[in-house]
Amino acid sequence: MPTRPGLLECIERYFAAAPLPDARVEQVGALDVPVADPAWPYPARPRRDAGRVTAADVRAALELQRSAGLPEALEWIPECSPEIAAVARAAGLPVEELPLLVADDPVEVLLPAGVRLYVVGADDPELPHYQQVAVTAFAHPGGRADVRATPPDLSPEGRARTAVLRERIAAGRTVMMVAMEQGRPVAVGSHQPVDIDGTEVSEIVGVATLPRLRGRGLGAGITSALAAHARESADLVFLVAGDDDVARVYERIGFARLATTAVAERPAA
């Protein structure tokens, strides 16, 4: 495995390359601001080798995102860009730092009896239902045990998000897995491979379990399966954990803490 600086550089290059198929990337001072379909937005990020990010850069980036109908959001690796936290807070954005982990020596985790795992196809008619599992799970991070998935979002915005996800799955830019129990989706997750000059890197994202089924190892099982699938072709697999408790779960299945990811996003009105 590469050294720590080598890993962080590789991950920074991943974040720079990931929006390119979907977005027009505007340079705003030392920040890159991807301008994409609001159905699949990307945060602003510091541009490699562009110098320190200033408060003026942050304000201009947020204004560009606002005018494009995008979430006002920045993400960065504090170990690489320590100055951004202060300027993000000065711009009125709350800053959260989350553990960043890499797949070091992943172990296979078996799913509970009666739960089957599937790779989702681009034409799967149930895709909106799988998406809603994640929406429900993230809306109730510590939710009641009886919370179940709500009906899929069939609004124009919801249909647009599903259409973009279908396109990504068809193109191989998102690999989605769903855990099914008694014919119903109970957990989901994805990994998103990107080729960087012949080196494939993939990020595991959106791992979510319905609140009533937490504590059964579904999230660990899906993450383990996603890591195994990604490592068939990727040289580096990483993820960002929601908090330290979640990070410890990933550490038990073979991930290693590398650094942190900072997220600064203006709350929706």
pLDDT digits (tens, 9 = 90+) for 180-233: 999 999 999 999 999 998 999 999 999 999 888 778 889 999 999 999 999 999
pLDDT of residue 2: 47
pLDDT of residue 101: 97
Average pLDDT in the 75-80 region?
95
DSSP E strands, 133-233: 175-181, 184-196, 199-209
Domains of the chain by residue range: 4-101, 115-253
Which burial class, exposed, middle or buried, applies to 80 when counting CB atoms under 10 A from its CB (0-12, 13-18, 19+)?
A: middle
pTM: 0.92
Averaged pLDDT of the chain: 91
Within a 10 A sphere around the Cβ of 155, how many other Cβ atoms?
Answer: 9
The pLDDT confidence band at residue 85, using thresholds 50, 70 and 90, is very high
Going by C-beta distance under 8 Å and a sequence separation of 6 or more, which residues neighbour residue 73?
41, 43, 44, 65, 263, 264, 265, 266
> What CATH code is assigned to 115-253?
3.40.630.30
pLDDT of residue 141: 67
Going by C-beta distance under 8 Å and a sequence separation of 6 or more, which residues neighbour residue 51?
30
pLDDT in tens, 38-74: 999 999 999 988 889 999 999 999 999 999 999 999 9
- Is residue 120 a contact partner of residue 177, using CB atoms and an 8 Å limit? yes
pLDDT of residue 144: 52
pLDDT above 80 for 1: no
Question: Higher confidence at residue 237 or residue 109?
Answer: 237
pLDDT above 60 for 266: yes
pLDDT of residue 21: 94
Instruction: Indicate the SS3 state at residue 204.
Output: strand
- Is residue 205 a contact partner of residue 192, using CB atoms and an 8 Å limit? yes
